[in-house]
Chains A and B, each alone.
Chain A
Amino acid sequence: MDPLRSKIIPVTSILAGVVVLWYVFAVILNAPFQRDLDQRANETPGTVEFIGKTLSQPKPTLPAPHQVAVNFFENTFLRSITSNRSLVYNAWVTLSSTLLGFAFGTALGIVIAVGIVHVTTLDRSLMPWIIASQTIPILAVAPMIIVVLAAVGITGLIPKALISTYLSFFPVAVGMVKGLRSPELMHLDLMHTYNASASQTFWKLRVPASVPFLFTSMKVAVAASLVGAIVGELPTGAVAGIGAKLLSGAYYSQTIDIWSALVAGSIVAALLVMVVGIAGRLADRAMGGRPA
């Protein structure tokens, strides 16, 4: 099927529906404050004028899509990217710690999975702790990591990246345990008939068999990493980053700023997941994957 019909049309229809709903709710949610304002100013606007006003408040309860779009456009394309109000600059700050944390998390997840698959003791002892680690609310852990690391003199990028690591190692570890255990019994028997060593079986069978699992879990992990980086910026009083923009927007009721930071965060997340997806597809192609 051509991509226009199979993907683009369904996705844009949903988007259009969301935008329409958004406008409806923007009017409904901003109406009480607008009514209040009009009453105090002794104004009695007509319906159309009233709706127009609800969609152009400077600090609306729910900003209208076009307000967010204008704010996003100004802060992304019209500002110098070194300005601390530029969304590009803030996104880059968050992105850098996301990528560092993601790299740490992926490496840590792989190491843990290899250990679990090969050492029975680790399989029994480590897995419950790994699962427990993800039940702890990250918002509670994040400030402690930042404070403790600051006490030993580590500040800046690393502490934020470690929070990303904390969130992203988990899907990779779980996915890779599954992937490394995915070879069929027949393939394992085959290696056994060759009298292959454990490391030969690992490199020639388990690792290639786990590659699809790695990319699937990395897609989840990279999105979790971004969440971790944003959360890491909240308690640190970070001056830059998507998280910092969200926080300062909340302090000063700059709802439009909050929403455009949110949009920036979503775009970064979508791009990251897309890049991992493309890398996964390239790896699949190189490994003889049947074209879908």
Chain B
Amino acid sequence: MSGQSPAVVSASKLGLTFQTNDGPVQALSNVDLTIGKGEFVSFIGPSGCGKTTLLRVIADLEKPTSGTISVNGISPEQAREKRAYGYVFQAAALFPWRTIERNVALPLEVIGLSQAEQAERIKRTLELVNLSGFEKKFPWQLSGGMQQRASIARALAFDADLLLMDEPFGALDEIVRDHLNEQLLDLWDRTNKTICFVTHSIPEAVYLSTRIVVMSPRPGRVTDIIESTLPRKRPLDIRETPEFLAIAARVRDGLRAGHSYDD
């Protein structure tokens, strides 16, 4: 596939060892992974499996200690400098002193867009996450789910083709999470972005992804990569179909196989 369309993310023999006071910790080891354009890839695994670290390496928030990785065919650092991706954190991480529209404007101010262009993009991205009408509110005036939607709007404001999401809905309740999953799929379908999504929920991973990367800890590594056979359009009740449950079972098996239960 490297012939026609270059991979969005391509990692080979990727490893990262943190030096801590208790000695070296191998957060990632021998990760081989290729993510193509337009894919929705979930990373799933127990805590300590390196899924967040892998996402942070793609985002150039951590430097790998071995192996190679490219983002859009260039190094993660160059990709970051070109603002190739939007990043959504575990918490909304909105600036409390800025209104919702000023929060979305933050990345646009940093790249130095004109006022008119900023206004246009703010309007468009807030519509995309269904937050029109909340422009002048401060973050504390919004619910947790709405705050996280605002942070997704902020990540989209760049218009980057790659969206990196680190357990964005982890802190939200089940009902809000279902709703946001549905909206995220819809958004992915409409914008054709490539999405890397870290989660520790099996249903969430299966529901959202075209591919599921199963990871396991000590050392953090990829144990299985599962291609989803689900169609692109997915209503919420697809989660009760045998096809869905079969994929979920495979993910669960993969997690169990990679995880030693002796601790």
Binding site for B on A (CB under 8 A): 184, 186-187, 189-196, 200, 204-205, 208-209, 211, 287-288, 290
Is B59's beta carbon under 8 Å from chain A? yes
Chain B residues positioned under 8 Å from A211 (CB to CB): 97
B85 and A195 form a contact (CB under 8 A): no
Q: How far is the CB of B108 from chain A (nearest CB, A)?
A: 10
A193 and B95 form a contact (CB under 8 A): no
Chain A residues positioned under 8 Å from B106 (CB to CB): 194, 204
Q: Which of A192, A200, A287 contacts B61 (CB 8 A)?
A: A192
B110 and A288 form a contact (CB under 8 A): no
Q: Which of B85, B93, B98 contacts A186 (CB 8 A)?
A: B93
Q: Which of A186, A191, A195, A209 contacts B91 (CB 8 A)?
A: A186
B93 and A184 form a contact (CB under 8 A): yes
A187 and B99 form a contact (CB under 8 A): no
Chain A residues positioned under 8 Å from B98 (CB to CB): 288
- Chain A interface mostly: helix
* Cα-based distance from A95 to B45 in the complex (angstroms): 64
* Cα-based distance from A187 to B107 in the complex (angstroms): 12
* Cα-based distance from A194 to B106 in the complex (angstroms): 9
* Cα-based distance from A195 to B85 in the complex (angstroms): 11
Q: How far is the CB of A58 from chain B (nearest CB, A)?
A: 58
* Cα-based distance from A186 to B106 in the complex (angstroms): 15
The 9 closest A-B pairs by CB, nearest first: A288-B138, A287-B97, A193-B87, A194-B110, A186-B93, A196-B110, A208-B97, A194-B107, A290-B140
Binding site for A on B (CB under 8 A): 59-61, 80-81, 83, 85-87, 89-91, 93, 95-99, 106-107, 109-111, 138-140
Knowing A200-B110, A288-B138, A290-B140, the reply to whether A193 touches B99 (Cβ < 8 A) is no
B89 and A190 form a contact (CB under 8 A): yes
Q: How far is the CB of B77 from chain A (nearest CB, A)?
A: 9
Chain A residues positioned under 8 Å from B83 (CB to CB): 194-195
Q: How far is the CB of A205 from chain B (nearest CB, A)?
A: 7
A288 and B87 form a contact (CB under 8 A): no
* Cα-based distance from A196 to B138 in the complex (angstroms): 23
A-B contacts besides A194-B111, A288-B97, 8 pairs, CB < 8 Å: A186-B89, A192-B60, A193-B60, A194-B83, A196-B110, A208-B95, A288-B98, A288-B140
Q: Count chain A CB atoms within 10 A of each CB in B59, B97, B98, B138 and give the residue with the most.
A: B97
A288 and B96 form a contact (CB under 8 A): yes
Taking CB as reference atom, which chain B residue is nearest A189?
B61
Taking CB as reference atom, which chain A residue is nearest B86?
A193
Q: Which of A189, A191, A290 contacts B89 (CB 8 A)?
A: A189
Q: How far is the CB of A42 from chain B (nearest CB, A)?
A: 76
Taking CB as reference atom, which chain A residue is nearest B82?
A195
* Cα-based distance from A288 to B111 in the complex (angstroms): 25
Q: Count chain B CB atoms within 10 A of each CB in A190, A191, A192, A211 and give the residue with the most.
A: A190
Taking CB as reference atom, which chain B residue is nearest A187?
B93
A-B contact pairs, 30 of them (CB 8 A): A184-B93, A186-B91, A186-B93, A187-B95, A191-B110, A192-B60, A192-B61, A192-B80, A193-B60, A193-B61, A193-B85, A193-B86, A193-B87, A194-B106, A194-B107, A194-B110, A194-B111, A195-B80, A195-B81, A195-B83, A195-B110, A200-B109, A204-B110, A211-B97, A287-B96, A288-B96, A288-B99, A288-B140, A290-B138, A290-B140
Taking CB as reference atom, which chain A residue is nearest B140?
A290
* Cα-based distance from A14 to B96 in the complex (angstroms): 38
Chain B residues positioned under 8 Å from A194 (CB to CB): 83, 106-107, 110-111
A205 and B81 form a contact (CB under 8 A): no
A204 and B61 form a contact (CB under 8 A): no
Chain A residues positioned under 8 Å from B97 (CB to CB): 208-209, 211, 287-288
Chain B residues positioned under 8 Å from A196 (CB to CB): 110
Taking CB as reference atom, which chain B residue is nearest A197?
B110
Chain A residues positioned under 8 Å from B93 (CB to CB): 184, 186-187, 190
Taking CB as reference atom, which chain A residue is nearest B97?
A287
Taking CB as reference atom, which chain A residue is nearest B87?
A193
Q: How far is the CB of A29 from chain B (nearest CB, A)?
A: 54
Q: How far is the CB of B58 from chain A (nearest CB, A)?
A: 11
* Cα-based distance from A208 to B99 in the complex (angstroms): 13
Q: Count chain B CB atoms within 10 A of each CB in A184, A287, A288 and give the residue with the most.
A: A288
Q: How far is the CB of A80 from chain B (nearest CB, A)?
A: 48
* Cα-based distance from A186 to B107 in the complex (angstroms): 15
Q: Which of A192, A205, A290 contacts B95 (CB 8 A)?
A: A205
